[in-house]
Amino acid sequence: MKLIILDRDGVINHDSDEFIKSPAEWIPIPGSLEAIARLNQAGYRVVVATNQSGIARGLFDMITLNAIHQKMHAAAQLVGADIDAIFFCPHSADDNCDCRKPKPGMLQEISRRFEVNLKGVPNVGDSLRDLQAGYATGSTPYLVLTGKGERTRAKGGLPPGTTIHANLAAVVDHLLKTPTKPSIAV
Ligand SMILES: [Mg+2]
Ligand SMILES: [Zn+2]
């Protein structure tokens, strides 16, 4: 089975420093859902792993998070894309949970649930902690420059083997061997 793990905010949809707190604030990055459809067509199962500390902070509740994800699933379906599962961490940094990225707990849970070793599995994020969480599981880190990606690239310290791409569509081009732009290795 081919699996790919995506961060949500800044990878699939536009991010905000004020958090994505409602379905109205969830707006897809152009081309991201179509890229997921192309992954599906190539036989990939697409799984999301997302920190959602807005829940712990009281900025939104589980009902709202579910509504946001319903909007995402519906928008995906419209272009023939299927997101297999969404794993989220509702905790804040103070909770010291095992699932909040950069901890690898969510990815380890994905590995268990899908019964797949994550070695070499593409892990796409716009923040360093996304890539750090994946690195511990042996997955392959992809940084996108959407969302917080430009800031993340500027700060540096990316895990070895990280490649940098303009956006999710470019990552998918790369994975499906139809590159439109060169990738930059770090
Ligand atoms: Mg993000
Ligand atoms: Zn957590």
Confidence (pLDDT) at 135: 86
Average pLDDT over residues 60-73: 98
**Mean of per-residue pLDDT scores for the chain:** 95
Ligand nearest to the CA of 99: 2
How far is the centre of ligand 1, averaged over its atoms, from the C-alpha of 79 (Å)?
Answer: 22
115 CB-contact burial (10 Å; exposed 0-12 / middle 13-18 / buried 19+): exposed
Q: Tell me: the pLDDT tens digits for 9-64? A: 999 999 999 999 999 999 999 999 999 999 999 999 999 999 999 999 999 999 99
Rounded to 5 degrees, what are φ and ψ at 46? -110, 125
Q: What's the total number of domains in the chain?
A: 1
Active site residue 7: yes
What is d(CA 170, CA 23) in angstroms, rounded to the nearest whole number?
Answer: 26
What is d(CA 116, CA 31) in angstroms, rounded to the nearest whole number?
Answer: 28
Question: Residue 138 in contact with residue 122, Cβ under 8 Å?
Answer: no
- The CATH number of residue 130's host domain is 3.40.50.1000
Q: Tell me: the pLDDT tens digits for 174-184? A: 999 865 555 66
Helix (H) or strand (E) holding 75: helix 62-78
- Domain of 7 in residue numbering reads as 2-185
Active site residue 9: yes
In the predicted structure, residue 152 carries a pLDDT above the cut 80: yes
How far is the centre of ligand 2, averaged over its atoms, from the C-alpha of 50 (Å)?
Answer: 10
How far is the centre of ligand 2, averaged over its atoms, from the C-alpha of 49 (Å)?
Answer: 11
The pTM score is: 0.94
Reported as half-sphere exposure (CB side, CA atoms, 13 A), residue 131 has a value of: 23
Residue list, CB under 5 A from ion ligand 1: 7, 9-10, 126-127
Average pLDDT over residues 159-170: 97
Least confident of 90-94, 157-161, 178-182: 178-182
Beta bridge partners, 87, equal: 49
How far is the centre of ligand 1, averaged over its atoms, from the C-alpha of 31 (Å)?
Answer: 17
What is d(CA 70, CA 62) in angstroms, rounded to the nearest whole number?
Answer: 12
Question: Residue 103 in contact with residue 133, Cβ under 8 Å?
Answer: yes
In the predicted structure, residue 185 carries a pLDDT above the cut 70: no
In this prediction, residue 81 has a pLDDT band, given cuts at 50, 70 and 90, of: very high
Confidence (pLDDT) at 58: 97
